[in-house]
Amino acid sequence: MADTQKLVSLRTCDNVLHKVPEHLTLQMRTIRNLLSCKIFSDTDTVIPLPNVSSQMLEFVIKWCEAIGPGDKALGSMQLSTLLTATLPDLEESELVYDLMKAANYLEIESLLEATTQHVADEINNCNSLESVCELFGLENDIGPDDEEGEWW
Amino acid sequence: MGTRSLSSTANCRPPGSAQNALRLQTSPHNVSEMQRDLQASPQMTSTGYTVPSLLQLNDDVLALILRQLNLYEQFELAQLHSRLESIRQTLWRTRVQNVLLWGEMFAISPPKPRHFLAFIQALVPHMEHLCLQNIDVRKLRLLSGLKLPAVHTLEWLGLPTYRGRLVDEDVRLLQRVFPSLRTLKLRSCRITGKYLGEFPLLTELSLDDCHHLDSEHFREIFRQLRLRKFDIMEDCDEVNCCDLVDVQQCLTLEHIKIADYHLCMEEGITQDLLRMPALHKLSIYSKNFVFDVLERIARHGNGNDGGKVIDGFRFSGTPHNFERLFRELGNLRHLRRLAVDGCCSLAGNDVECITDYMLLELSQKLPELCELRFSGCELESYRGLLHFVVNCRQLRLLDITRSRRIGDSFVWRCLELLVKQKWRTQPLELWIRQSDIDNNIVQNPRFIPNDKLLKIDSRSLTHNMEQLSGVLKFTFVR
């Protein structure tokens, strides 16, 4: 059977060319806007993605496949569960940060919400500010709080 | 080319291409971004492991992360870095007019008093509405040295335990700290009401589960304050309640929510209430005297003796006697909007329902009805509803959400009547959500040509579906 699926050519920052089904790229607002411009409407034109690596684009496409087309109104819990189920390799924070940057650049709201919720949950799981600093590589540039008073 | 799934991503890697190309190109434009990257460079931990820094994310993404945290967590996180602090300030500038603080926010890492004050002071420039829920009352007392004139609405939803309970002296503190309060809601307090009259700008007062209220203080409250709304309906039980007979002295009141035992509902009091010049809504909770209250209000609610004209009535709950309820409703001659919620037989009693005859009589007595809502009611049959279509010429909305024993036949009979009503200028709206009328009836070829006479809506929700049972709500012509 002849394949009628349209593919969009995306070149990532590590110079890898990806041919991605158009229906998946339409979930990325940045690409959707570009495709609506005449210059990129020809699917043979390669769209450069200077801020997205090949590895991240593959994560992004897995996400777009999982979330499906249209604006599904999923709650933050559902998004979080979907993120863990779809991208189980996201243990390392470096990967999460890169994925957030990609989601931000490509304007995929659902992925941004899921990843920011993932980080917020990790912050919530810390039981002290010191452990937040340690986990998120933060160096306090404001100065320590004075010790005083009682706690309750 | 064959179809492929993600894998439908075809990697066409040119030979010799770098796996990790530099993401930033050096140009004067992004020097500041490079500086930020340097600042956000990975931190070494004691074990030598390099931790990637959260600060490598741009401000927009950091703001999104902060927004997923509660206000206190946002404040705490912002204390860790000046960039986070700047993002926190930008967020709060537009997003913290309405602030809700609850006890569990502080449960895991309880703030030191100075830290809690710093948190509140950071909120102050933006906050207009503050709701404190299940907060230890000692935290409120920490604010005694502050003045927050920008806050005009305060809700104190206390814990039912001793530590959560606000007392009279705390009300004085509220008056000092929040001098511009216009709306005050107090729940689960141990107050007498002694200092409630000292909020000069207050227009809305709501008291819920406030034990120890003293009738004597209410005389002063109603004399001193220019309240527009007063709500004490869910205050306390009928044995330990105060007498609010002086409520009529507050001539600015537009909306009153009380229970019948607050007024004893004597004839004279009822008349006085209905003479209050600004009163527009009156909600009365009545457990055992629904018919007495309805009868007394209805007697003076036709504008005959200088009182108000009732144009809207809503009742939620199951009355002891259906027939009497509908007979009393027939006395509200000028009613334009009638809503009855959850009027169905009690468990184990299949006999009682709203009969066709009750509805026939009511439709004849209320010719001015425009809106009729029977939600969650059990009817004898659809025929009772047809009487309203025949007798109420101004009827434009019939809401039968969640009501039973109506069926599709009602729609066909209704259409037959509407076709003959040449004087109608607009269609009759019929809300059928979760009733026993088939939602697909609108696609029926027999219905389609008549959709200008009858507009069927299977989506609209009847509001206030979870109303307190036993509340009689009257609205008056202004």
Amino acid, res. B280? H
Determine the residue of chain B that is closest to A20 in CA distance: B9
Q: Hunting for tokens 């980080």 — which residue is that?
A: A119
Residue A65: CB partners within 8 Å, gap ≥ 6? A24, B5, B6
Mean pLDDT of B419-428: 91
Element (H, E) at B85: helix B82-95
Dump pLDDT digits (tens) for A85-100.
777 666 666 788 999 9
Q: Examine residue A129 and state whether it is found in any structural domain, yes or no.
A: no
Residue B277 has pLDDT above 80, yes or no: yes
Contacts of B56 in chain A (CB under 8 A): 97
d(CA B325, CA B361): 12
From A41, A37, A39, select the one nearest A22 (Cα to Cα).
Answer: A41
Residue pairs spanning A and B at CB distance below 8 A: 149
Question: Do strands A17-21 and A7-12 pair parallel, antiparallel, or not at all (unpaired)?
Answer: antiparallel
- Minimum mean pLDDT among B23-27, B227-231, B267-271, B424-428: which range? B23-27
Mean pLDDT of A30-42: 81
**Facing residues of B84 across strands?**
none
Q: Sorting pLDDT into bands at 50, 70 and 90, what band is B162? A: low
Instruction: Enter the pTM of the model.
Output: 0.79
Mean pLDDT of A13-28: 93
Q: What is the model's pLDDT at position B203?
A: 97
- Burial of residue A20 (CB within 10 Å: 0-12, 13-18, 19+) is buried
Instruction: Provide the shortest C-alpha distance from residue B188 to chain A (in Å).
Output: 22
Q: Does B117 touch chain A (CB under 8 A)?
A: no
Q: What is the model's pLDDT at position B265?
A: 66
Contacts of A138 in chain B (CB under 8 A): 43, 53-55, 80-81
Residue B72 has pLDDT above 60, yes or no: yes
Question: Do strands B204-211 and B129-133 pair parallel, antiparallel, or not at all (unpaired)?
Answer: unpaired
Of B2, B60, B65, the CB nearest to A3: B2
- DSSP three-state, residue B307: coil
Identify from A8, A9, A11, A15 which residue to disrupt to test chain B contact, counting B C-beta atoms within 10 A and taking the largest count: A15
Cβ(A51)–Cβ(B21) below 8 Å: no
d(CA B271, CA B297): 8
Cα B61 to its chain centre, rounded Å, is 33
Of B20, B68, B85, the CB nearest to A116: B68
- Is A61 in Cβ contact with B21 (below 8 Å)? no
**Facing residues of B154 across strands?**
B130, B184
Residue B5 has pLDDT above 50, yes or no: no
Higher local confidence (pLDDT), A5 or A71: A5
Of B2, B51, B110, the CB nearest to A151: B110
Q: What is the model's pLDDT at position B475?
A: 93
- Is A15 in Cβ contact with B14 (below 8 Å)? yes
**Facing residues of B190 across strands?**
B167, B211
Domain around A71: 7-117
The encoded tokens of residue B372 equal: 């009729």
Of B6, B13, B17, the CB nearest to A61: B6
Say how many domains are in chain A: 1
Q: Does B69 touch chain A (CB under 8 A)?
A: yes
Q: CB-side exposure of A67: number of CA atoms within 13 Å?
A: 33
From B7, B395, B454, select the one nearest A19 (Cα to Cα).
Answer: B7
Dump the DSSP string for B340-368.
EES--PPTT--S--B-HHHHHHHHHH-TT
Dump pLDDT digits (tens) for A100-141.
999 999 999 989 998 999 899 889 888 888 888 888 888 887
Q: What is the model's pLDDT at position B312?
A: 95
Q: Sorting pLDDT into bands at 50, 70 and 90, what band is A13? A: very high
Task: Tell me what the pLDDT averaged over chain B comes to.
Answer: 83
Cβ(B135)–Cβ(B164) below 8 Å: yes
Q: Does B425 touch chain A (CB under 8 A)?
A: no
- Minimum mean pLDDT among B147-151, B369-373, B448-452: which range? B448-452
Of A132, A142, A150, the CB nearest to B85: A142
Residue B242: CB partners within 8 Å, gap ≥ 6? B193, B213, B214, B215, B218, B262
From B321, B312, B341, select the one nearest B400 (Cα to Cα).
Answer: B341
Q: What is the model's pLDDT at position B185?
A: 96
B89-93, B262-266, B343-347 — most confident range: B89-93
Q: Does A22 touch chain B (CB under 8 A)?
A: no
From B162, B198, B170, B163, select the one nearest B186 (Cα to Cα).
Answer: B170
Q: Any idea where the domains of chain B sit in the sequence?
A: 56-107, 311-477
d(CA A59, CA A61): 5
Dump pLDDT digits (tens) for B188-229.
888 999 999 999 999 999 998 888 888 889 999 999 999 999
Mean pLDDT of B379-401: 94
Cα B389 to its chain centre, rounded Å, is 32
- Is A101 in Cβ contact with B81 (below 8 Å)? no
Q: Does B351 touch chain A (CB under 8 A)?
A: no
Task: Tell me what the pLDDT averaged over chain A comes to.
Answer: 81
Dump pLDDT digits (tens) for B232-246.
987 666 666 778 888
d(CA B476, CA B310): 4
Q: What is the model's pLDDT at position B68?
A: 92
Instruction: Provide the shortest C-alpha distance from residue A81 to chain B (in Å).
Output: 16
From B226, B194, B198, B228, select the one nearest B210 (Cα to Cα).
Answer: B194
Residue A149 has pLDDT above 50, yes or no: no
Q: Which of residues 30-49 of A touch B (CB under 8 A)?
A: none
Domain made up of B311-477: CATH architecture:
Alpha-Beta Horseshoe (3.80)
Q: What is the CATH number of the domain that holds A35?
A: 3.30.710.10
Q: Examine residue A137 and state whether it is found in any structural domain, yes or no.
A: no
Residue B306 has pLDDT above 80, yes or no: no
- Is A76 in Cβ contact with B53 (below 8 Å)? no
Q: What is the model's pLDDT at position A49?
A: 94
Q: Which of residues 144-163 of B touch A (CB under 8 A)?
A: none
d(CA A101, CA A52): 8
Dump pLDDT digits (tens) for B27-57.
333 444 444 544 455 555 555 557 788 899 9
Dump pLDDT digits (tens) for B319-371.
878 888 899 999 898 999 999 988 876 655 555 788 999 999 999 999 999 99
Contacts of B61 in chain A (CB under 8 A): 100-101, 104, 112, 116
Q: What is the model's pLDDT at position B321?
A: 84
Residue B100 has pLDDT above 90, yes or no: yes
